[in-house]
Amino acid sequence: MDYLERCTGSNRIEQVLEAAKARKLREGENPARWRGHLDKRLPKQGSRVKPFTSLSAEETARLMRPLDSLEGAVARAAELMILTATRNSETCGVRWSELDLEQKLWTIPGERIKTGKTHRIPLTDAMLEVISQQISQHPEWFFPNSKRIGCIPSNVIGRLLDTLKVHISVPHGFRSTFRVWAAETTNYPREAC
């Protein structure tokens, strides 16, 4: 693999031009050099990453009561998503083959994970209670859709929260809730959480 294929920095054009200069394919200063050049000429770029809004751990705990009182796969999916701190698509698309109830383990294959790496979640008693309510609903899908030909769509949890008048922008905020709770109340490293 040559240098140009390994370029992974934030300013790839700058790196390509530097590599060309090193190979004597160009001369002069690098017009794409950021530090000491473009950073002085171009306006500062603000951060575009806006964190998802989230409920506090206490508000999330209170939300579990109305969710538990509702029937259906969507309410169970919302409960499991909160308890496992998983993403919408990971929760809604779970298959029975991913669950090992004897070992109390949920293994999400890498192709269903944003990072592409297999993710293992130990199942707690509360998670197993949610799981027990879905047994015999569908032979393949843990949360079958209304036509029973696939899983529930990932946007249904957000619609359920809107119906319950839960004021967070997206269900993904529950991951943030978990991160904050874990940081404030446990001594586990961030990577473990």
Q: What is the CB neighbour count within 10 angstroms for residue 121?
A: 19
> Is residue 8 very low, low, confident or very high in pLDDT (cuts 50, 70, 90)?
very low
157 CB burial (10 A radius; 0-12, 13-18, 19+): buried
Token duo for residue 46: 């603000």
- Give the 3-state secondary structure of residue 176: helix
**Average pLDDT, rounded, for the chain:** 83
pLDDT in tens, 117-141: 999 999 999 999 999 999 888 989 9
Asked if 120 and 106 touch (Cβ cutoff 8 Å), the reply is yes
The domain spans of the chain are: 3-41, 57-94+123-185
Which range among 90-104, 142-156, 170-184 has the greatest average pLDDT? 90-104
Phi then psi dihedrals of residue 119, to 5 deg:
-125, 130
pLDDT in tens, 14-57: 778 788 888 888 888 877 776 666 666 667 766 666 666 788 88
145 CB burial (10 A radius; 0-12, 13-18, 19+): middle
Q: Is the pLDDT of residue 114 over 60?
A: yes
